Amino acid sequence: MSSEFKIQNSKFKTERYCGCFVTGTDTGVGKTVVTAALAHCLRQHGISVGVMKPIETGYDPGSATLSDVARLQSSIDNHDPIDLVSPYWLPLPLAPLAAARRAGVTIQMGRMVDAFKTLAARHECLLVEGVEGVGGVMVPIADRFDVRDLIVALGLPVLIVGRPALGGVNHALLTVEALRQRGVSILGIVLNQPAGGGSSVHDRLQRDSTIAILRERLDIPVLGPLRYEAALEHEWEQGVGRIAEDPVMHELAGLLRAIGP
């Protein structure tokens, strides 16, 4: 990021809001599932919660498959305008900078921050899922800013979703370091069990050692792993509801309520 953008970015810094930015240590770690389940859990606690995904790539309006934004909204019966929930829809399933260039679109920080502020004013708590097609917080969104810049501009603490598998320790520690370089507050790390994982002796050993090492090395909550929920494949709302009942989700809801706006 250039020093010029650092100066310009200061105008986007907002007052504090209740909520968090859900990012991943890698792509495909389950950001949408965790965001939806946490939103569902907060709603069960009587909190008016909104959801946002600033950029979604690989969006096909003719597909029978629900978009991530549609999944997020359906999990809490949310009816906020789609152009606020996701200001940028890009057709190609690429990283956002590449997808935007192919679509002839310039992603603007101000547009995303304005949408965020509007949604935040509508709800007690707002959960922002990390940009689609992103494998981590260092990935560029536009020519002069990346995911970390967006997080700083929104002023939210971060919830990191990782995997309790080989490489999980390295990816989690690198993500934490990258965020702390920018002074970002980290709510915690939640490890998400992938489909079909965790059944063998080796899988269980890898999972347990990942959790133990992360808890030893970090001074933030390391929660999970969340169990894999097969219902997500065919009954999204039902699967999200089951995950929302996990004690991990109630602990995360408590952490969010404790920090407040």
* CB neighbour list of residue 96: distance below 8 Å, 6 or more residues apart: 55, 57, 88, 90, 107, 131, 132, 133, 134, 139, 140, 141
Active site residues: 53
The Cα–Cα gap between 23 and 221 comes to: 15
The Cα–Cα gap between 111 and 252 comes to: 29
- Alpha-helical regions (H) of 127-230: 147-154, 168-181, 201-217
The residue type of 204 is R
Look at the chain and count its residues.
Answer: 261
Q: Assign 52 to helix, strand or coil.
A: strand
Question: What is the Cα Rg of the chain in Å?
Answer: 17
Q: Which backbone phi and psi does 51 adopt, to 5 degrees?
A: -130, 155
Place of tokens 């700083």: 152
User: What tokens appear for 148 in the block?
Assistant: 């970390």
